[in-house]
Each structure stands twice: as structure tokens, then as C-alpha cells.
């Protein structure tokens, strides 16, 4: 490798600044653009920030609060809407999302100060109880019957069904809140499964959603949704073959069950809905309440429950039987949250670390990372880390259990005691994923 002098490398940084009127990023220094490769700089200076520091370039602060807010207003004027963090990150020529989080507590605060309104990601708060109830009563008065879930469509002039589920937890609960009597609410889970199995036996095939919704004296798909999360999960519990076909997709399609977009290869089409391979192959014991408490799936469920209990104001975004939603929780204080857990591992004879995976997730506003001891009997550490923090890697947040390692994350560390207290007092057999397990003596 050709050797460049320290002075020459610094002079090239200055040349880039004077030519482009901006400080160079590490990636800007490359032979293709006519500059020495960034590799020379790291060999000579160690870190890129040392290069900028030693170059002697003094830049007047560009990113004032006023400038950042004006950029949000410029986006609104250009695209006709207030940006989400993801939208701003995709458009060139705007400040980074991380810059806003350095200046403002939340994304909503930045938008409000720019005179813009936050577009709710989960759309839970767009409609009040009265809005939803009045829409159900409107359908009832026009059609002289209680609405079913598939009746509530935007194309029919009504608030879509998913808003009711997100607001109330189930469509049947929404119908009750409107003062109406939902049909078939008296069935137990076991009775619904028995009806489904008997119908499949009579037909000689698995009934589709369209077929059961066409029957007059049979529970609707909404009834199965309220009991099992959705109709596909009911079929899994009933041990019935799924009505599926396979299809290769390359766009922005999302899984009907878990809403993920990270399994973009082979999907299944189940009752007209796209299902990712993980949800299709989801173990039946997870849905049946017999999940192994020692599995990695179980520790994820337990950790999310602990965080939800401690935060108090948090809203769970996952469905009752799937925890694979792109956002685990939303709270007024921390906005969107992904909950991560890790067990203390041995790296080498004298080193221990926690590693919280961040791949296959969208970027939340914050990660809440729960660090257990090696045998998972106690929560030792808890960190609340913004997704824009430098400690967040592409694939993981790794924290070494040493003085130096812990100091990197000290600003994000919070008191673990409230979390550990909930963990120690938790009776896992009260959670739906474990409720049918025999209690250990």
C-alpha cells in the first residue's frame, strides 16, 4: 500500500472541504473521487473524528434548531405531508434523523415546533370511542343488523376493521362498547374449534374465511379473530390444513399475522392473506399456551411483559398470539419501542458480554435492552437506547461487562430494580403463552 504523509492526507481533507463546502465523511475519501482512500486515514489517525479534528477546519454551526425546523417545513411543502423518520431518512438533501433526536426529545416535539402534526404510526389515536361507536351504530341503523368485521371497510364508507381491533383489542369488544350485542359471543375456544373441525369434516376440506362468513348460523371470522388473533391461527389450533398457495414477492408486502417485511423470499397465501414462513411454521404450543418457558421465544415474551408493566403508559402493538410486530410497544415518553433481551455470555476467560440483536427489525425510536445474568434468575442491567445512538450496530448492540464496556452505555443505563421486581414476582402461568402448562411443584 502506498504511503502518504500525514500533512498530505490532511491537505486533501481541506481540499475536499473547500471544493464541496462541507466536511467530508469517511466514505467521501476514495480514489474514485480523486482523493486518497479512507483506509490511509484510519491507519494514520485511528478514527475519522481525529482526522477532522487535526485538519483544523472550523465549521460554523449549520444545524441550528431554526434550520432543522425549516427543513421539516420544506419537506412538508415538497411532499404535502409531515415526514416520518423513515421517510426523512430516505430522501437526500435533508438533515439526518439522528440530528433531530440530538436537539429534540422526541420526533413529535420536533414536528410540533415546526408547526406540523405527527402522523401516528399505529393509527390507534385517530378515532375516539365515540367516533368508533357512532360508525358501528350507523351501520346497524342502515342495515338493521349488527355489523361483522368484514362489513367495516373504507370502501364501504366505514372506519376500517383494524382500527377497532387496535383500539379495543378485539372487534367484539368494540361492538359491546357501542351498546350492541355481538353474535356468537357465548362460544368458548373449545366450542369454536370443535365447530370448525366438524365443518371441515362435512366439507372434506378446510373452510375458507369467505365460506364461513357466508353462513347464516355459524360464528363469523371476526369471532375467531377475537378468540385466536385471526382465522389462520384458529386453523392452526384446530390442526386443519391451511388453504394456501406459494408466491414469490419482491415488493413491500407484509405478513398478515406479524406485519413483518423481513422474510421477503417465499411466502404463503393463506385464505387470501400473505403469511411469512415463520408465522406459517409457528409452533402450535406457542398458540396453545404450552410454550417452553426455557426457549428463546419465551424469554422474549416475558421481557416484553416486564417492560410493559414497568412503563405503565405503554401500549402493546403485538397481537394476542404473535410478538413479531415491527414495534413491540409505544409510550408517550419513549415513542416506539423494540424490547430486547440477552443473557450474560462468556467471551473469553476473563470477559463477559450482552448482545442484543437489532437485525430483522425496523428502526424504533428506542431499544429497551434487558440484561439477565447467566442463568436468567435475575435482571442485572437495563438500558434505554435511542436507535440513532452510536452504540447501536447494524446487527446488534453489544455491551461488555467491564468498566470500559459499561462506560460506553452509562448514559443510557436506568435502574434495573423495578424491572427485576416484576420479574421475580411474575407468575408465568398467568400469561396466555404458558397458561396450559402443568405447574412445576
CA–CA dist 428, 376 (Å, integer)? 14
* pLDDT value for 353: 85
Cell of 133: 361507536
Could you tell me if residue 106 is inside a domain?
A: yes
On the CB side of 299, CA atoms within 13 Å amount to 18
Those residues with Cβ within 8 angstroms of residue 248's Cβ, 6 or more apart along the chain or in another chain: 265, 266, 267
Average pLDDT, the chain: 77
> Does the structure show a pLDDT above 60 at 266?
no
* pLDDT value for 8: 86
Could you tell me if residue 160 is inside a domain?
A: yes
Quick one: average pLDDT of 17-39?
A: 79
Confidence of residue 306 (pLDDT cuts 50, 70, 90): very high
> Does the structure show a pLDDT above 80 at 375?
yes
150: left (phi over 0), alpha (psi -120 to 50) or beta: alpha
CB 323 within 8 A of CB 282: no
Is residue 316 helix, strand or coil? Answer: strand
The DSSP 8-state label assigned to residue 427 in this structure reads -
With cell 376493521, the residue in question is: 161
Residue 338: closest CA among 316, 313, 310: 316
Same domain, yes or no: 258 and 160: no
Same domain, yes or no: 69 and 51: no
List strand residue ranges (DSSP E) for 184-256, in order: 244-248
CB 362 within 8 A of CB 390: no
81: left (phi over 0), alpha (psi -120 to 50) or beta: beta
Label residues 305-315 b or e (16+ Cβ within 10 Å = b): bbbbbbbeebb
Residue 324 lies in domain: 296-430
Same domain, yes or no: 324 and 410: yes
Name the more confident of 167 and 288: 167
Same domain, yes or no: 87 and 166: no
CA–CA dist 200, 196 (Å, integer)? 6
Could you tell me if residue 185 is inside a domain?
A: no
Could you tell me if residue 436 is inside a domain?
A: no
Same domain, yes or no: 340 and 315: yes
Confidence of residue 310 (pLDDT cuts 50, 70, 90): very high
Could you tell me if residue 272 is inside a domain?
A: yes
35, 38, 44, 63, 130 from 54: Cα distances, Å:
18, 15, 12, 22, 62
Confidence of residue 320 (pLDDT cuts 50, 70, 90): very low
Could you tell me if residue 257 is inside a domain?
A: yes
Is residue 29 helix, strand or coil? Answer: coil
Residue 277: closest CA among 338, 326, 324, 210: 324
Domain count, the chain: 5
Is residue 246 helix, strand or coil? Answer: strand
* pLDDT value for 440: 64
Is residue 267 helix, strand or coil? Answer: strand
Please state, for a pLDDT cut of 70, what percent of the chain lies above it.
79
Same domain, yes or no: 425 and 355: yes
> Does the structure show a pLDDT above 80 at 268?
no
* pLDDT value for 59: 60
Quick one: average pLDDT of 48-65?
A: 76
Same domain, yes or no: 24 and 48: yes
> Does the structure show a pLDDT above 80 at 347?
no
Residue 162: closest CA among 319, 270, 268: 319
Residue 254: closest CA among 263, 246, 243: 263
* pLDDT value for 88: 84
Residue-wise pLDDT for 386-412, tens only, equals 988 888 887 788 888 888 888 889 999
Residue-wise pLDDT for 122-156, tens only, equals 444 467 888 888 888 988 888 888 887 777 776 67
The H or E element spanning position 200 is helix 189-203
Could you tell me if residue 437 is inside a domain?
A: no
Confidence of residue 241 (pLDDT cuts 50, 70, 90): confident
CA–CA dist 384, 365 (Å, integer)? 10
413-414 and 379-386 strand pairing = antiparallel
CB 316 within 8 A of CB 328: yes
* pLDDT value for 378: 94
> Does the structure show a pLDDT above 80 at 278?
no
Sheet holding 396-400, edge to edge: 345-348, 351-357, 396-400
The dihedral of CA 130, 133, 136, 140: what is its sign?
A: negative
Quick one: average pLDDT of 27-42?
A: 80
Could you tell me if residue 438 is inside a domain?
A: no
CA–CA dist 209, 330 (Å, integer)? 31
Same domain, yes or no: 381 and 416: yes
* pLDDT value for 253: 60
Residue 368: closest CA among 425, 330, 322, 394: 330
CB 310 within 8 A of CB 426: no
- Which CATH number is 362's domain given? 3.40.1350
Same domain, yes or no: 251 and 375: no
CA–CA dist 12, 9 (Å, integer)? 5
Quick one: average pLDDT of 209-221?
A: 77
CB 83 within 8 A of CB 108: no
CA–CA dist 347, 343 (Å, integer)? 12
Same domain, yes or no: 100 and 132: no
The H or E element spanning position 413 is strand 413-414
The DSSP 8-state label assigned to residue 341 in this structure reads E
Residue 100: closest CA among 75, 133, 137, 131: 75
Same domain, yes or no: 308 and 425: yes
Same domain, yes or no: 130 and 83: no
Amino acid at each position: 500500500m502506498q504511503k502518504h504523509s500525514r500533512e498530505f492526507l490532511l491537505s486533501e481533507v481541506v481540499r475536499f472541504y473547500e471544493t464541496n463546502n462541507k466536511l467530508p465523511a469517511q466514505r467521501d475519501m476514495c480514489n474514485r473521487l480523486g482523493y486518497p482512500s479512507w483506509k490511509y486515514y484510519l491507519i494514520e489517525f485511528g478514527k475519522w473524528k481525529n482526522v477532522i479534528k487535526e485538519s483544523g477546519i472550523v465549521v460554523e454551526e449549520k444545524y441550528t434548531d431554526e434550520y432543522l425546523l425549516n427543513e421539516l417545513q420544506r419537506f412538508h411543502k415538497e411532499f404535502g405531508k409531515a415526514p416520518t423518520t423513515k421517510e426523512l431518512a430516505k430522501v437526500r438533501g435533508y438533515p439526518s434523523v439522528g440530528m433531530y433526536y440530538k436537539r429534540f426529545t422526541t420526533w413529535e416535539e420536533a414536528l410540533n415546533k415546526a408547526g406540523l402534526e405527527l402522523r401516528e404510526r399505529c393509527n390507534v389515536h385517530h378515532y375516539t370511542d365515540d367516533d368508533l361507536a357512532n360508525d358501528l351504530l350507523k351501520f346497524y341503523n342502515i342495515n338493521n343488523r349488527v355489523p361483522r368485521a368484514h362489513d367495516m371497510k373504507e370502501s364501504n364508507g366505514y372506519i376500517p376493521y383494524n382500527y377497532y381491533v387496535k383500539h379495543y383489542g378485539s372487534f367484539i369488544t368494540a361492538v359491546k362498547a357501542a351498546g350492541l350485542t355481538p353474535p356468537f359471543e357465548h362460544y368458548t375456544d373449545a366450542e369454536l374449534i370443535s365447530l370448525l373441525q366438524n365443518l371441515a369434516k362435512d366439507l372434506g376440506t378446510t373452510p375458507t374465511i369467505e365460506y364461513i362468513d357466508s353462513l347464516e348460523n355459524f360464528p363469523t371470522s371476526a369471532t375467531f379473530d377475537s378468540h385466536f388473533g385471526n382465522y389462520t391461527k384458529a386453523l392452526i389450533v384446530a390442526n386443519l390444513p391451511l388453504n394456501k398457495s406459494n408466491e414469490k414477492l419482491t415488493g413491500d408486502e407484509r405478513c398478515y399475522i406479524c406485519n413483518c417485511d423481513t422474510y421477503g423470499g417465499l411466502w404463503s397465501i393463506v385464505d387470501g392473506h400473505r403469511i411469512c414462513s415463520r408465522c406459517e411454521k409457528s409452533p402450535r404450543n406457542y398458540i396453545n399456551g404450552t410454550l417452553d418457558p426455557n426457549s428463546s421465544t419465551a424469554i422474549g415474551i416475558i421481557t416484553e411483559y416486564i417492560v410493559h408493566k414497568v412503563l405503565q403508559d405503554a401500549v402493546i402493538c403485538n397481537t394476542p398470539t404473535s410478538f413479531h410486530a415491527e414495534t413491540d410497544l409505544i409510550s408517550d415518553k419513549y415513542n416506539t419501542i423494540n424490547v430486547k433481551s440477552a443473557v450474560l455470555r462468556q467471551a473469553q476467560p476473563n470477559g463477559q458480554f450482552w448482545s442484543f440483536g437489532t437485525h430483522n427489525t425496523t428502526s424504533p425510536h428506542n431499544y429497551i435492552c434487558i440484561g439477565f445474568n447467566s442463568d436468567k434468575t435475575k435482571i442485572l442491567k437495563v438500558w434505554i437506547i435511542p436507535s440513532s445512538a452510536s452504540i447501536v450496530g447494524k446487527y446488534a448492540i453489544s455491551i461488555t461487562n467491564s468498566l470500559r464496556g459499561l462506560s460506553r452505555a452509562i448514559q443510557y443505563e436506568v435502574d434495573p430494580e423495578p424491572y427485576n421486581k416484576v420479574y421475580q414476582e411474575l407468575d408465568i402461568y398467568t400469561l396466555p403463552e404458558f397458561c396450559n402448562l402443568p405447574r412445576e411443584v
